[in-house]
Structure 1
Amino acid sequence: MSAIKFVLSYMRGLKLKYLMAIASIALAAFFSFMTPLVMKLTVDSVLGGQKINLPWGLTNFLDQFDTVPFLVKNLWVAGVMIVFIGFIGHSFSYLRGKLSAQCAEEFARRLRNSLYDHIQKLPFAWHSKVQTGDIIQRCTSDIDTVKRFMGSQLVQLGRGVIMVILVIPIMLSLSVKMTLVSIIVIPLIFAYAVIFFRQVRRRFTAADESEGYMTTVLEESLNGIRVVRAFARQDYEIQRFEDAADDYREKCRKLITVLAYYWASSDILCLIQISGVLIFGIYQTINGNISLGTLLAFTTYVGMLLWPIREMGRILTDMGRAQVSIGRLREILDTPQEKLDGYFDLPEDYRVRGKIDFLNVSFAYNEDEEPILRNIDLSIAPGETLAILGSTGAGKSTLVNLIPRLFEYSSGKIRIDGVELRKFDRQQIRRQIGIVLQEPFLYSRTISENIGLAAPGASREMIEKASQEAALH
């Protein structure tokens, strides 16, 4: 799935509103182009006494109403027209910002919910391999990056294209020579923006990965603060975080350096282009080839033409960053969800007796690795208590995790009450098993809510009874 298809899949029902935002951009651009034409009309015809010379058939339209004689007597009307046109243009700009922001927020909400839902359904084996801090960074910073691009930069990209499409015909209708001079640097600026985009995308990827690692270090240190203090490892953890922060700072510094080079050099190119247009326009005006009003219009239009193209570099930069973020999000969303499978349906009120049999069971985390467990034969009767001893890393926890199907054994069979474990639906068999985890975890909720987490709808009496049996009450 391409990045575009990925975005469109979360834009259902929002496309019309987004198209309205783009239409608002076009209207705002249209009205922004009218202001220089009013200035040209005022300078050349009202003050200079020349005939009206405007594009789009405006000349004939204004001549029908004796516009020039009216403005000569009421010059203030020209000022009111400029203010009114500016107000209408900015109103459409406001509408564009509102609509695009609403679409971006809803897009981010859908993506965030979809990502969280997908993570909840991924296999335990996947969670055991990934870094929690990196996942948090993807679910927060990466989604925000895509949201900002959707809400601002993508719309600005449309604005730049519309500005170029509308302004060049106007400029050509005023003066072909001045237009050619005005667009000399445009191909160079655009090519420069594309080259810059390719360079900065790689640096954005490195910075995002470094930020994810720094978040992981922070998350691990805070969650394991009791262990850190118990073993007096504060200095080690501080140094570990500082190293991660220094790496992130260094990668961000390289990224910002590239950005600074681009903005400075592109500013120089744009200013050279504007200076060239102004100098050539003054020469053309002195020789009588263009009017003073046309020169004023061109000095405005060349800015409208150049700065959006210069902004293409920033837009392409943010697009590259958004593509990187989309790629990181898709790495999660493309990971296959855990299959519940199983066809041995258990009634709601059914409780397993607890007879467990391991028959020649072997397990390896990956197919190309040596098995952690090899040819295990074990039988546990209902109600029987069994202790498994072994050194660290011997596979004790892994052996237990096979029973609720957190991992899939590589070979052999495991039976619960005589039924092959793989015939059970994962969710159903897990509801039948109670596990005291090696590393207990409490949610940021009340003790009562933590106790009742595995039994939604549990009564107060049930929760109190469970806490009494666990010697908590």
Structure 2
Amino acid sequence: MLTGLFFSAMITVCQAFIPQVIRISVDGVLGSDLSKIPEWVKAFLSEETIRENPGKMLTIAAFAVILLAAINIAANYYSKVFAAKGSESFVKGMRDQLYDHIQKLPYSWHVKNQTGDIIQRCTSDVDVVRNFVTNQLMEVFRIIFLIVFYMVIMFSMNVKISLIAVSFFPIVILYSGYFFSKIAQHFQEADEAEGILSSVVQENLTGVRVVRAFGRESFERKRFDEKNERFAGLWIYLGKFLSLYWSIGDLITGIQILTVICMGVLFTVDGNLTVGEFIAFVSYNSSMAWPVRSLGRIISEMSKAGVSIDRIAYILDEKEEDDRPGVTKPAINKDIVFDNVNFKYEEGAAVLKNVSFTVPAGKTFAILGNTGSGKSTLVHLLNRLYDLPDGCGKITIGGVDIRDIDRQYLRSQIGMVLQEPFLYSGSIKENVGITRESSAFDDIREACEIACVDSAIDSFTDGYETIVGERGVTLSGGQKQRVAIARMLVEHTPVMIFDDSLSAVDAQTDAMIREALKKRMAGTTVILIAHRITTLMQADCIMVLEDGAVAEMGSHEQLMEHHGIYRRIYDIQMNTQLDADSV
């Protein structure tokens, strides 16, 4: 970046010398006063040579202009090359920092923020910053250097006209600052509107099957048009605002140039300025007019860049997940104990109320409950996707509080399959083996056999190399769940959690998967969450949640004898099944 600034300064110096060459040439041909010729020029050309041999002088001047132009071209090339390298390295570092930071942010932060808005901050806003660093920031240094350098030359030629030229600068700076203060808020509104628009597009593309299934195309188009209309309206308003800004700038610049030319003509007629000096002065003034306006433009662009920087800083300023000092990595194949756990999300009522239970090591523990009863929250707490606040109970594994266990280590020891599994764009083999850096194909195939998806994969033309689309849209719901189960099994974790992850498979496949798991995963602690009684009834212990509290707990037989919630749900499901079979 510094090298780019050096070459940029060299460009300014080369451009500053060209009017001086023209000035000396014109004054020499016209026979004007040459007493003001710089000493370094006299070292190459004597005053007699300039007056008596104008042809030689013009030849030298032509070669000087050509040389300066060649240096200018080379400096311009290297300036852009080094500026691009510096800015892209800076922005690459920003992207890397952003992505790495987002990976370490709490799950709760991702829940609160829309995916489309996060993507927009990491792409469009980063591009705005990149453009500012690449173009505007470099231009600021070049313009400041150019103005200072040109003003030194102009004041050395004529102080009075230089003061007239400079007198317009405060006006440009003041009205640019005024527009800067007015436009910043509108840029922020436009960026936020773009984030909302991106979220709408992202949600529509992600849920394309739902949109098609329910014929919601018209609704989605209307929703998109509404957000797009607001986004376009904000930029149209900004366009009008900027047009006014540039129009005023054109007016002030025109008046400034006209004033300098008129005063220059008067000074030249009075003999206070040579013709060559007048031409050079007008050239310097015209060369400064656009940079000064550009400085105002950059000030206005800074408002947009400032908004983007603030939006990026919103992510970077968020606190990353961290552990307590002195965390350990104990064995996880121990009893899991929830002791008087209470929990609620940041806003809302309590989700869990005085929940206490023990999951013996190597056993299968099932959880049954209505939607919203807190089943998934339990496993999110166990996996430390949410941390249990102080004073809200305790969760231990082998007697060790999970808050004293290294977070990444804990998660690597607990396998989890969610009800709505996410599959990456890639082959089935890549999706299953993604949880381990080097997964042998035999391990992948064995996991798929246990998950009862091996035969379905073999039926595909490309087998395990079959490419699944984003979110696995080329697979059925049951196949996606089984691929996700296989992916978790490849990890060989001591604790496995199935969060209603068999809901999309039929009862027969459900039974086959549970039987295969029982045979091949003996000694593994399994937490099974489901709404289907037949999925839970073989568990060693079943807990029934109601409104965030433990309503019942025991084996299938014990709960059936209790004639409580579990028995009522069992009777409803069994009667429904009998009615379906009779039909």
Asked if TM exceeds 0.5, the reply is yes
Distance change in 2, residues 1:186/1:430 (3 Å): same
Q: Which among 83, 99, 109 is matched to residue 126 of structure 1? A: 109
Distance change in 2, residues 1:419/1:374 (3 Å): same
SS at match of 1:75: helix
Report the alpha carbon displacement of residue 56 of structure 1 after superposing the two structures with TM: 4.7
Report the alpha carbon displacement of residue 258 of structure 1 after superposing the two structures with TM: 1.5
1:398 counterpart = 2:377: yes
Report the alpha carbon displacement of residue 74 of structure 1 after superposing the two structures with TM: 5.5
SS at match of 2:394: strand
Q: Deviations over 1:37-78 (max 9, x none)?
A: 111111111x20223244653464355485414443463332
Report the alpha carbon displacement of residue 352 of structure 1 after superposing the two structures with TM: 1.4
Report the alpha carbon displacement of residue 83 of structure 1 after superposing the two structures with TM: 2.4
SS at match of 1:387: strand
Q: Which among 27, 33, 39 is matched to residue 22 of structure 2? A: 39
Aligned residue in 2 for 1:292: 275
Aligned residue in 2 for 1:15: none
Report the alpha carbon displacement of residue 176 of structure 1 after superposing the two structures with TM: 2.1
Aligned residue in 2 for 1:51: 33
**Distance (whole Å) between structure 1 residues aligned to residue 136 and residue 4 of structure 2:** 13
Q: Which among 163, 166, 173 is matched to residue 183 of structure 1? A: 166
Letter in 2 for 1:125: S
Q: Which among 339, 352, 357 is matched to residue 378 of structure 1? A: 357
SS at match of 1:126: helix
**Distance (whole Å) between structure 1 residues aligned to residue 257 and residue 198 of structure 2:** 46
SS at match of 1:362: strand
Letter in 1 for 2:251: I
Aligned residue in 1 for 2:367: 387
Distance change in 2, residues 1:40/1:234 (3 Å): same
Letter in 2 for 1:467: C
Gaps of 5+ in 1: 1-17
Q: Which among 161, 181, 189 is matched to residue 206 of structure 1? A: 189
Letter in 2 for 1:374: K
**Distance (whole Å) between structure 1 residues aligned to residue 193 and residue 234 of structure 2:** 8
Letter in 2 for 1:450: N
**Distance (whole Å) between structure 1 residues aligned to residue 325 and residue 11 of structure 2:** 59
Report the alpha carbon displacement of residue 386 of structure 1 after superposing the two structures with TM: 1.2
Aligned residue in 1 for 2:422: 441
Q: Which among 449, 457, 462 is matched to residue 468 of structure 1? A: 449
**Distance (whole Å) between structure 1 residues aligned to residue 37 and residue 76 of structure 2:** 24
**Distance (whole Å) between structure 2 residues aligned to residue 120 and residue 336 of structure 1:** 12
Letter in 2 for 1:285: T
Contact 1:380–1:386 under 8 Å retained in 2: no
Aligned residue in 1 for 2:545: none
Report the alpha carbon displacement of residue 300 of structure 1 after superposing the two structures with TM: 0.6
Gaps of 5+ in 2: 455-583
**Distance (whole Å) between structure 2 residues aligned to residue 122 and residue 140 of structure 1:** 18
Map residues 448-463 of structure 1 onto 2, 5 A cutoff. 448-463=429-444
Letter in 2 for 1:447: I
Contact 1:134–1:215 under 8 Å retained in 2: yes
Aligned residue in 1 for 2:405: 424
Aligned residue in 1 for 2:177: 194
**Distance (whole Å) between structure 2 residues aligned to residue 447 and residue 375 of structure 1:** 42
Deviating beyond 6 angstroms after TM superposition, the runs of 4 or more aligned structure 1 residues are none
Aligned residue in 2 for 1:364: 344
**Distance (whole Å) between structure 2 residues aligned to residue 342 and residue 231 of structure 1:** 51
Letter in 1 for 2:14: F
Aligned residue in 2 for 1:100: 83
Letter in 2 for 1:427: Q
Report the alpha carbon displacement of residue 268 of structure 1 after superposing the two structures with TM: 1.4
1:413 counterpart = 2:394: yes
Contact 1:43–1:292 under 8 Å retained in 2: yes
Contact 1:342–1:422 under 8 Å retained in 2: no
**Distance (whole Å) between structure 2 residues aligned to residue 470 and residue 55 of structure 1:** 90
Contact 2:186–2:238 under 8 Å retained in 1: yes
Contact 1:163–1:304 under 8 Å retained in 2: no
Contact 1:55–1:173 under 8 Å retained in 2: no
Contact 1:53–1:59 under 8 Å retained in 2: no
**Distance (whole Å) between structure 2 residues aligned to residue 63 and residue 73 of structure 1:** 10
**Distance (whole Å) between structure 2 residues aligned to residue 67 and residue 194 of structure 1:** 51
Q: Which among 233, 248, 251 is matched to residue 216 of structure 2? A: 233
Letter in 2 for 1:50: S
Map residues 118-157 of structure 1 onto 2, 5 A cutoff. 118-157=101-140
Report the alpha carbon displacement of residue 335 of structure 1 after superposing the two structures with TM: 1.2
Contact 1:340–1:427 under 8 Å retained in 2: no
Distance change in 2, residues 1:65/1:288 (3 Å): closer
Aligned residue in 1 for 2:43: 61
Letter in 2 for 1:263: W
SS at match of 1:335: coil
Q: Deviations over 1:164-203 (max 9, x none)?
A: 1111121122222222222231110121122222222222
Question: Could you tell me the TM-score, scaled by structure 1's length?
Answer: 0.89
Q: Could you tell which deviates more after superposition, 76-85 or 152-161?
A: 76-85
Which of the two has greater strand per residue?
2
Aligned residue in 2 for 1:333: 316
Q: Deviations over 1:60-114 (max 9, x none)?
A: 4355485414443463332232222122123222221111110000011111111
- Give the alignment's Cα RMSD to 1 decimal: 2.1
Q: Could you tell which deviates more after superposition, 450-459 or 47-56?
A: 47-56
Letter in 2 for 1:466: A
Contact 2:23–2:279 under 8 Å retained in 1: yes
Contact 2:344–2:350 under 8 Å retained in 1: yes
**Distance (whole Å) between structure 2 residues aligned to residue 305 and residue 247 of structure 1:** 39
Report the alpha carbon displacement of residue 419 of structure 1 after superposing the two structures with TM: 3.4
Letter in 1 for 2:189: A
**Distance (whole Å) between structure 1 residues aligned to residue 320 and residue 386 of structure 2:** 14
SS at match of 1:242: helix
Distance change in 2, residues 1:344/1:280 (3 Å): closer
Contact 1:402–1:408 under 8 Å retained in 2: yes
1:274 counterpart = 2:257: yes
Letter in 1 for 2:271: G
Higher normalized contact order (CA 8 Å, seq sep 6+, divided by chain length): 1
**Distance (whole Å) between structure 2 residues aligned to residue 431 and residue 231 of structure 1:** 39
SS at match of 2:431: helix
Contact 1:359–1:377 under 8 Å retained in 2: yes
Contact 2:326–2:404 under 8 Å retained in 1: yes
**Distance (whole Å) between structure 1 residues aligned to residue 131 and residue 42 of structure 2:** 45
Report the alpha carbon displacement of residue 432 of structure 1 after superposing the two structures with TM: 2.1
Q: Which among 303, 327, 334 is matched to residue 286 of structure 2? A: 303
Report the alpha carbon displacement of residue 221 of structure 1 after superposing the two structures with TM: 1.2
State the identity %: 35
Report the alpha carbon displacement of residue 163 of structure 1 after superposing the two structures with TM: 1.1
Distance change in 2, residues 1:75/1:454 (3 Å): same
